[in-house]
């Protein structure tokens, strides 16, 4: 689990900040237009994919930790 946390703790490209916040908060609202805007800003598809996965895993682990604290 700690290895997964370390892999998810990648420092994001500042150009992806708003997009990654959206992924963490409400991933279901991400659209093709969001991805297209990143690509037009010069972010590669590989970067978008890797940062999206890292943000999703990181948020999932954060929620897991919160649930463990509540459950005990």
**What CA dihedral angle connects 16, 19, 21 and 27, to 10 degrees?**
-140
Residue 6 pLDDT class (50, 70, 90 cuts): confident
Q: Is residue 7 scored above 80 in pLDDT?
A: no
Residues in the chain: 72
Q: What is the pLDDT of residues 25-61, one digit of tens each?
A: 999 999 999 999 999 999 999 999 999 999 999 999 9
pTM score, whole prediction: 0.82
């Amino acid at each position: 689990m700690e290895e997964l946390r370390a892999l998810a703790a990648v420092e994001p490209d500042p150009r992806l900040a708003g997009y990654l916040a959206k992924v963490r908060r409400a991933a279901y609202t991400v659209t093709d237009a969001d991805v297209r805007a990143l690509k037009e800003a010069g972010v590669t598809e590989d970067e978008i994919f890797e940062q999206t996965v890292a943000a999703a895993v990181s948020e999932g682990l954060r929620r897991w930790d919160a649930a463990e604290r509540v459950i005990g």
